[in-house]
Amino acid sequence: MATYVISDIHGMYNKFIELLNKIKLKETDTLYILGDVLDRGPDPIKTLLKIMSMSNVICMLGNHEDMALDCLKFLTTEITEQSLSEVSEEMLENLVTWQYNGSKTTIDGFRALDRAKQQEIIDFIEDMPEIEEISVAGQKYLLVHGGLGDFYPGKSIEDYTIEELIWASAEYDIQYFDDTYVVTGHTPTQGIPGNPRPGYIYRQNNHIAIDCGAVRRSGRLAAIRLDDGKEFYTGD
């Protein structure tokens, strides 16, 4: 009954399957995915459908799912002269922002599905949790895609906004909690200042950062087993 965490797959389906084979995920194990399954890589919808078929996976909300949700809903509407005239400026801005952040492969995969399967994906994204607090082998962990924006000691988890949880980056030079490890994605470890192992899992100040840049040319998809701290990587 092991507990694993992965983040920021970004449509890299082959790397995801490679990593699943490396960790030898069993039905009795639990796998948390810290968001950003969608966009950029070649197979985001294929990857999401695979995750949706796995009963022992808890997929959390990333900023790319948050960015995509309203746009995917828009793609399911019938395009008419009237519907186009009613598109709000906010929706147009959302579509442009999403396109800038690598939406094409997500759109292509989504459009290839029938309406029922498209709705299943929308429902699945809407149900994604923003944060998980768990205990593994007596150790407490807080799992979140981005970080704890506007952090201050004593701030309740319930007081954080979606933007602070999935869009803000973690502050790796400070320690949020004495008794809890914060596991995050969102920020590739290649970009963490002072990281002695860029491209590998970063651990310092009770942070565990696991976005190892899977979609980058020399990047990796990483997993950590929380029970014993063992790390797994694609390509290594």
pLDDT tens readout for residues 132-188? 999 999 999 999 999 999 999 999 999 999 999 999 999 999 999 999 999 999 999
Enter the pTM of the model. Answer: 0.96
- Output the pLDDT for position 86: 73
pLDDT tens readout for residues 69-128? 999 999 998 666 666 667 788 988 999 999 999 999 999 999 999 999 999 999 999 999
Strand order in the sheet with 30-33: 57-59, 30-33, 3-6, 222-225, 231-233
pLDDT tens readout for residues 30-53? 999 999 999 999 999 999 999 999
Helix intervals (H) in 76-152: 81-85, 89-100, 104-111, 115-126
